[in-house]
């Protein structure tokens, strides 16, 4: 599939949502049963009705999570949209390697298709299309039994992000015992709430043409970290996305040295690809900020 066809397919996902599925229909289809014990169902714009929030969250934490979700949506729309001002093939090559869109062998086709499928999965998520069984649970404090914000060996694998994601299958509360639901958990650790927002960083450099060229000025914020976790979700990824590399420097190195073979399954490769495109569009940059 050529690059142009890839984005036509993604845009059709958004068009399908807009033309055939109303907000009320989405909400009705995803309305939960009795809910998840100890959690509060969110009633926020652009968030699924089957999304639950830790009841221990403060008002400030709620606001930060909502802002991060909205900023992740901006990144997703930049990555999966079709802004005619830019050809983002070079950006994708930076983060996924030179073979990101090749299909001349079965393995290359599998990886290229996975990248396309994951872009489309992200578009569906923010477009309001999910299976009835999908549930999303956000924790503002460490999980009571999972202990996800610390590591026994002293190395928090998501220390730079301050958030952790995991996935469970469980019986739907208040429903038939054979009705199994998928629960995508995200815990936001204390350091996550201390990070800046993407909007704050954009505002800081809005008049500084030189600093706009450095994507490292925008890689550490709550919105970027939120999107990183979202790309781990089974509701988005067609194949498991893990963490081979974190951050701009190591993710570029991964794409250059290991190529698409590993980069297609690395969460920060997708996240920084989205950020790169967003920054380029937001500031109207002629050159690639990576």
Q: What is the pTM of this model?
A: 0.81
User: Residue 138 corresponds to which tokens in the numbers above?
Assistant: 């956000």
Nearest to 270 by CA among 148, 130, 168, 123: 123
- pLDDT score, position 182: 79
Cβ atoms of 156 and 149 closer than 8 Å: yes
User: Residue 204 corresponds to which tokens in the numbers above?
Assistant: 């800081």
Q: Which residues of 116-132 are buried (b: 16+ CB within 10 A; e: fewer)?
A: bebbbbbbbbbbbbbee
- pLDDT score, position 287: 77
- Spatial neighbors of 12 by CB under 8 A, at least 6 apart, are none
Q: Which residues of 167-187 are buried (b: 16+ CB within 10 A; e: fewer)?
A: eeeeebeeeeeeeebbbbbbb
Which domains does the chain carry? 3-283 (3.40.390.10)
- Listing DSSP states for 243-280 in one string gives -S--HHHHHHHHHHHTTHHHHTTBHHHHHHHHHHHHHH
Integer-rounded Cα radius of gyration of the chain: 19
Token pair 């704050």: residue: 200
- Per-position pLDDT tens, the chain of length 290: 444 445 444 554 444 444 433 333 333 333 344 556 667 776 666 666 678 888 889 999 999 999 999 999 999 999 999 887 888 999 999 999 999 999 999 999 999 999 999 999 999 988 877 766 778 888 887 666 566 686 544 444 444 457 777 766 554 444 555 556 778 888 898 889 999 999 999 999 999 999 999 999 999 999 999 999 999 998 899 888 999 999 999 999 999 999 999 999 999 999 999 999 999 999 998 777 76
Task: Give the integer Cα–Cα distance in Å for 246 and 226.
Answer: 14
Task: Give the integer Cα–Cα distance in Å for 62 and 65.
Answer: 5
Task: Give the integer Cα–Cα distance in Å for 250 and 272.
Answer: 11
Task: Give the integer Cα–Cα distance in Å for 280 and 113.
Answer: 25
């Amino acid at each position: 599939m050529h690059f142009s066809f890839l984005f036509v397919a993604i845009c059709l996902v958004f068009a399908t949502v807009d033309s055939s599925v109303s907000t009320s229909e989405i909400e009705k289809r995803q309305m939960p049963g009795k809910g998840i014990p100890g959690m509060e169902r969110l009633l926020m714009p652009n968030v699924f009705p089957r999304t639950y929030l830790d009841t221990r969250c403060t008002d400030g934490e709620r606001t930060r999570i909502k802002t991060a979700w909205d900023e992740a949506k901006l990144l997703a729309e930049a990555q999966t949209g079709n802004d005619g001002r830019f050809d983002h093939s070079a950006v994708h090559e930076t983060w996924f390697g030179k073979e990101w869109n090749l299909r001349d062998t079965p393995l290359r086709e599998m990886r290229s298709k996975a990248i396309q499928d994951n872009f489309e999965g992200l578009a569906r998520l923010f477009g309001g299309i999910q299976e009835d069984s999908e549930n999303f649970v956000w924790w503002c404090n460490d999980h009571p039994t999972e202990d996800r914000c610390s590591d026994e060996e002293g190395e928090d694998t998501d220390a730079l992000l301050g958030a952790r994601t995991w996935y469970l299958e469980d019986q739907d509360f208040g429903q038939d015992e054979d009705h199994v639901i998928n629960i995508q958990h995200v815990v936001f650790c204390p350091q996550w709430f201390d990070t800046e927002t993407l909007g704050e960083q954009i505002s800081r450099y809005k008049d500084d043409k030189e600093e706009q060229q450095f994507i490292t000025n925008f890689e550490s914020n709550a919105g970027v970290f939120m999107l990183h976790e979202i790309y781990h979700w089974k509701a988005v990824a067609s194949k498991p996305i893990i963490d081979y590399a974190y951050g701009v420097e190591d993710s570029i190195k991964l794409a250059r040295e290991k190529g698409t073979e590993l980069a297609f399954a690395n969460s920060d490769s997708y996240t920084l690809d989205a950020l790169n495109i967003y920054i380029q569009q937001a500031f109207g940059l002629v050159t690639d900020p990576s």
